[in-house]
Amino acid sequence: MKERFDVSGMTCASCQANVQKAVQKLGVNDVNVNLISESMTVDYDSDKISNDDIIKAVEKIGYGASPKDKDRSSEINLKEHEEMSTISRLKISFLFLIPLMYLEMGPMINLPIPSFLEGRAGAINNAFVQFLLALPVIFVNRKFFVSGFKSLVNKAPNMDTLVALGAGAATIFGIFAIMRMSYALGLNDTQVLDHYRHNIYFESSATILTLITLGKYFEARSKGETKASLKHLMDLAPKTAKVIKNGEEIEVAIEEIEIGDTIVVRPGESIPVDGIVTKGSSLVDQAAITGESIPVNKNPGDEVISASINKQGSFQFRAKRVGENTTISQIISLVNEANETKAPIAKLADKISAIFVPMVIVIAILTFTISAYLTKDFEFALNLMIAVLVISCPCALGLATPMAIMVSTGKSAELGLLFKSAESLENLHKIDSILLDKTGTITEGKPVVTDVYTKMDDKEFISIARSIEEASEHPLSNAIVEFANSKNIGPKETSDFNSITGMGLEAKIDGKIYYAGNIKLMNDKNISVKDFEERSISYSEEGKTSMYFADENEVLGLIAVQDLAKDSSIKAIEKLKAMGYHIAMLTGDNEKTAEAIRKKLAIDEKYAEVLPQDKDKVVRKLQESGKNVAMVGDGINDAPALARSDIGIAIGSGTDIAIDSADVVLIKNSLLDIVNSIRLSSKTIKIIKENLFWAFFYNIILIPVAAGILYPRYGITLNPMFAALAMSISSVFVCLNSLRLRNFKPEEEESKEENIIIKENEMSELNKMIVKVDGMSCENCAKHVTEALESVSGIKEVNVNLENKEANVEYFGSVDEDEISKAISEAGYEYKGIEYK
């Protein structure tokens, strides 16, 4: 089983490595520790290991662990408490550090200090006051000492150990200096007194603790920024919903909603769970989930997504997916899982982190021993040792990869791109070949009529064709019926409908027999196809499917149908080719149709007449030729190919099994998001490499400098206070560099503002109707009716004609007639029907 835990007390990569090592020793199947989210995912056999065993193993080495709180309220409260605690520690630290620094540094630049603290006479007083000022700073930051020494005792040293050793050594030396000064004063030994009063080190101890706490504060703020996208997603879903039970509308907690419940959503409210609209219609803003800039019209039968926002009308829907199965919950789960996995590039940092702190302690001891032996100067050697301990920064090393991964997965979720693991995020940019399934991925997945060819009256021909196809449920039949509807061409009365397997349909209209089907049917019925066959071949070469329509004597005409490529697919293929990717198409279509589509979309290679069970063989063939393959699909039969490919990419509207088999999910159902996914992957890896370079470069360069390697020739050493500042800056740099990923801009087809204007204009011109209203007698009545109709979802504009007792209405999509009737009745008028233009 898999269990998630909150882990407290981790401060650096060594902490992360220590926790991981401690849990692995229990014999678990797998463990992933996330420094940024301070969490851990453990895969283990519950018959052999319990949660308590895992928690005890973590606590034994000086950290805290507890099962993940699912409602996150206690976690949020804990984080807020920790942040307030850090701010309080900073305030107290600076309150005492400023006068301490003044006492130590002031006399060097001729600033006045109280006379009882001046010179040799006031040396012990000065040192003791510095000690008293340092004590509160040490006390409020005692967590470094508690955590550091506890880890050291448990043979799992971490960053806190380095800080505790550095600050502790400085403090102990300061106390030792006071004792030596007191002894020298008793013996009137001014030489010893002068030596120690200039080397007290309390200010170094206080400065180290304060600056590292300041660095931790900035780091925590950066982590908060990192989690902002995910927190925004979590805040989208409402906490309660209005459910109809026993005919009454009641408010319930979102956790209490069950599949099949009827839920009411009013304008401005968020949709609590996934479901199907059963009554009413509205415009729904899905931007936060799918990234679509235009609100989507929802009518009965349409699916609504959890956490999207109802913009206009009221509607009811039936709950389809609840609890952890809703879209928003799945997105959050996928983002969390991606954050808690490790990218391959992180493994090097993990290996180094595991030995980093012990190695630094050894270097510090060697530095002290060698310096003391060569220079015979104990204080100088101690100074170098403290600098080595303090400047070493496992934090930057530990934050380099997970910080970038977390920002990237959060940003990708905002854009409707879901990476299931850090590994898929890293590996996506390595692919060189993209294999696209045709139906539903490149194309709309729904055939439409593209051409009508007849020598009789168009309307009459379409009416006959529609009448024959009306009783069939074949997708091509549906395309013809929808086409006829769009032309407002109704059906004729039919009888004796018959489906002829593998060839087409037969029906009687006004006592006369008509046929609809392929050329086999025409030949079977001995109907001459004349010059229609040539036109049919021409359509076929364009990738279209032709259907013949005939009576008993001759062909009446052809209707060509095609599953058209999405506009976004055409642009995506262009961009991917421009980026240097090899694009291949996978389809069950025949060679001729497949070749026509390949040429039209400028695809590099096609695989035609591929059976569903053979799709993964095509992936294997490409891989065997040395290519790194990304497979893009949406159906159940794509799942094996998605699983076999180097990176499987599923379209968000696809089947659950396809999504489960994929590494990346594109929620928006647009191939343009493949371009954005690859760009984000490349940008993320670039940031990670920059972070790792900085972390390694920083430590490789500055640890030897702190150890005094430049002192013999150039006389250069590193003051422990500057070492602490440099260490804090290195961590903050890694955090800020990772946050640059939040500025990632996706490639848009067109500007959002322009897109909105164009689409609104298109939608406003789509449909017109006349609504008949009785009871209107004045301009005030006209105003009331206008307001009532404008409140109905989908209605764009209303113009009332008092003389004709009607309202001219412009609308997009479809509108609910019951809602129009209800709106007019509630306004106090009588609804008399609709005439469609």
Q: Tell me the two tokens of residue 537.
A: 């071949």
Looking from the CA of 217 toward its CB, the CA atoms found within 13 Å total 17
Q: Are 22 and 389 contacting, i.e. CB atoms less than 8 angstroms apart?
A: no
633 vs 658: CA distance, rounded Å: 7
Q: Where are the beta strands (DSSP E) in 349-487?
A: 417-419, 433-437, 448-454
Pair 464, 494: CB distance under 8 Å: no
Question: Does the active-site annotation cover 437?
Answer: yes
Distance CA 22, CA 16 (A): 10
Q: Specify the 3-state DSSP secondary structure of 679.
A: helix
Q: Which residues pair with 162 in a beta bridge?
A: none
Tell me how far CA of residue 623 lies from CA of 433, 631, 644, 647, 648, in angstroms.
9, 11, 10, 12, 13
Residue with tokens 């699909």: 633
- 261, 302, 437, 634: which one is catalytic? 437
SS3 320: strand
Tell me the sheet residues that pair with 811: 767, 795
Q: Are 387 and 723 in contact (CB under 8 A)?
A: yes
* 3-class DSSP state of 500: strand
Q: Which of 419, 421, 403, 405 is nearest to 13 (CA)?
A: 403
CA distances from 64 to 19, 55, 830 (A): 10, 7, 69
Using the structure block, give the residue that is written with the tokens 């519950």.
46
The CA-to-CA distance between both ends of the chain, in Å, stands at: 61
What's at 708, amino acid-wise?
A: G
The radius of gyration computed from the CA coordinates of the chain, to the nearest angstrom, equals 37
Classify residue 77 as exposed, middle or buried by CB count within 10 Å of its CB (0-12, 13-18, 19+).
exposed
DSSP 335-371: HHHHHTS--TTHHHHHHHHHHHHHHHHHHHHHHHHHH
Residue given tokens 């019925």 in the structure block: 525
Q: Note the helical H segments in 542-628.
A: 567-578, 591-601, 615-624
Of the candidates 722, 729, 721, the residue with the CA atom closest to the CA atom of residue 206? 721
Burial of 115 (0-12, 13-18, 19+ CB in 10 A): exposed
Candidates 13, 422, 68, 71; CA nearest to 219 is 13
What letter represents residue 382's amino acid? Answer: L
For residue 444, the SS3 value is coil
Please list the active-site residues. Answer: 437
